[in-house]
Amino acid sequence: MGNELTSYTVLNFKRDFILGDTGEDVGSLHNIMGFLGYGPSEEEIKEKRFGKSTLAQAEKLREAISNNPLLAFASFILQFIFGSDIEEATPELRRGNSKPIREYRASTDPELQSLEAVSTSKKGAAGAAELAGRYIGQRETGDNKGAVVKYFNGAEGEPWCGGFVHKIMAKAISPALYSQGDFLRARSFGDEAAKHGAFRKPSQGYAPAVGDVVVFTRGGEKGHVGIVSDVAENGTVTYISGNDANAVRARTFDRKNPPQSLLGYGDTHALAKAKGITLDVPSIAMTNTKVTMGATRHSDTAIRGG
């Protein structure tokens, strides 16, 4: 996927951890936590199980890492030693395998113009996927704060995965594609697509296409939303979303064995057709623009909202 921001170090971890998971990668997580003084119960260590004790200690450690640069650096080094990552212990949202980007760029107010300059030369759905990829690594500066939140939401203070998708689709295709007024609510994208007969559930056997919108639930009306950037022949779906551990990140899952939280896909081509939007013509003139950001490494936290 295209990314003009900078070069990144990408570490491929086996999966996200959720309550009840067992295995060698959970054991690696225990090793990191124990080394840093946040070991879980002996029972869970013995069973290599991600249980309530592991979750509680992971939350404490993640908070400590966010406030202590030395602890964050130690955690990063231990990832290479044990092959796992404390920051992937995010059980609120079952998202399948992940490919987290390990360097983030906290985007501050002076960089708003740089965010606006990011663009793509591709058209339609492919352009939306490429444009989304060029924001990978952008990170908020606080709890839903910073230039990246202002840019995608229009203001600080609210979860911004919906704002991310809305802005990308408006910029790469048309503001009319997803025109619902409550776009900050992640699940509104599924509602908008369904209203026009363009929402595809996993049970329908639909094979998503690049540029489709992927919608997840977090229980009730809570959700998460992203843009499909790649669909491999083996069924691996890669999607890009904002406000994923407070940053723009790429993740993957197996379409044939999708995560339980997957609600479905907004079929971009079908939705555009229903609304009379031509995907072959970009909504604005676009040129590739390189954006430079200061290199600052951050610790992740769990996804806080859609």
**pLDDT tens string 136-195:** 888 888 778 888 999 999 999 999 999 999 999 999 999 999 999 999 999 999 999 999
Question: What is the edge-to-edge ordering of all strands in the sheet holding 199-200?
Answer: 105-106, 138-139, 247-254, 236-244, 223-231, 213-217, 262-266, 199-200
Bridge partner list, 296: 104
pLDDT of residue 297 exceeding 50: no
- Return the higher-pLDDT residue of 101 and 164: 164
Contact by Cβ (8 Å): 253, 236:
yes
From CA 208, how far away is CA 232, in angstroms rounded? 10
Query: Helix, strand, or coil here: 214?
Result: strand
**pLDDT tens string 22-41:** 777 678 778 878 888 889 99
pLDDT of residue 94 exceeding 80: no
pLDDT of residue 93 exceeding 50: no
pLDDT of residue 17 exceeding 80: no
pLDDT of residue 111 exceeding 70: no
From CA 196, how far away is CA 189, in angstroms rounded? 11
pLDDT of residue 102 exceeding 70: no
Mean pLDDT of 226-245: 91
- Return the higher-pLDDT residue of 151 and 119: 151
Most confident of 12-21, 28-37, 101-110, 151-160: 151-160
pTM: 0.64
Can you give the pLDDT at residue 76? 63
Can you give the pLDDT at residue 62? 73
Mean pLDDT of 258-283: 86
Can you give the pLDDT at residue 293? 29
**pLDDT tens string 59-78:** 788 778 777 777 767 666 66
User: How much of the chain is helix, strand and coil, in % rounded to 5?
Assistant: 35, 15, 50
From CA 130, how far away is CA 289, in angstroms rounded? 13
